[in-house]
Amino acid sequence: MSITAHQVVTLHYVLSDVLNDGSKQVLDDSQARNKPLEYLHGHDNIVPGLENALAGQTVGAELSVQLMPADAYGVRNEALIQEVSRGSFGNAELQPGSRFQTEGEAGPQIVTVLEINGDRVTVDTNHPLAGRTLNYQVTILDVRDATRAELAKGHPLPPGTEHSKVEDRKVL
């Protein structure tokens, strides 16, 4: 079965990027964590470039995919660096490099603390991987048709989840 829309795909991947000195830096390795990625194809569950590269592939396929920033987590946008009040973080301990998940206009976003100056905190709301060229080594483990419940939710669900027990995310 080849990968098409509305199918659940299970795969292992190694995500890396290339540093300025030309060396490779592994950012994530699903096999090392012994946790394959499972996603619903055609439902924006993964970055667009990787999803496009996986279309039409079959179980057992191994591929290398290099994604430019626009096809991965986007190009860096310096306008997304902002200054906010220290109070925005409650009692959280802050230091440069700290990361927090907040609710943005388009849903959850990761905020990275760049600098703390008194009651003002400079944050970067770009995705931490924005602006980076990424390399994926992928092995496809399984491809199956999505259940009705998974299609209603827009992502894979635990085995046995009945469609009558989930709220449909689609707006009528």
* 48-73 as b/e: b if 16+ CB within 10 A: ebbbebbeebebebeeebebebebbb
The whole-angstrom distance between residue 19's C-alpha and the CA centroid of its chain comes to 21
Q: What is the CA radius of gyration of the chain?
A: 19
Amino acid 164: pLDDT: 64
DSSP 8-state symbol, 22: S
pLDDT, mean of residues 54-71: 97
Amino acid 104: pLDDT: 77
pLDDT, mean of residues 97-125: 90
What structural domains and CATH numbers belong to the chain?
Answer: 2-73+130-153 (3.10.50.40), 78-124 (2.40.10.330)
**Beta strands per DSSP E along the chain:** 7-18, 24-29, 37-40, 62-67, 81-85, 99-104, 107-117, 120-124, 134-145
Residues 35-45 pLDDT 10s: 999 999 999 99
| Reported confidence tier of residue 163, pLDDT bands at 50, 70, 90 | low
Q: Which two tokens stand for residue 7?
A: 């199918």
| Reported confidence tier of residue 172, pLDDT bands at 50, 70, 90 | very low
The SS3 of residue 107 is strand
| Reported confidence tier of residue 171, pLDDT bands at 50, 70, 90 | very low
pLDDT, mean of residues 93-122: 90
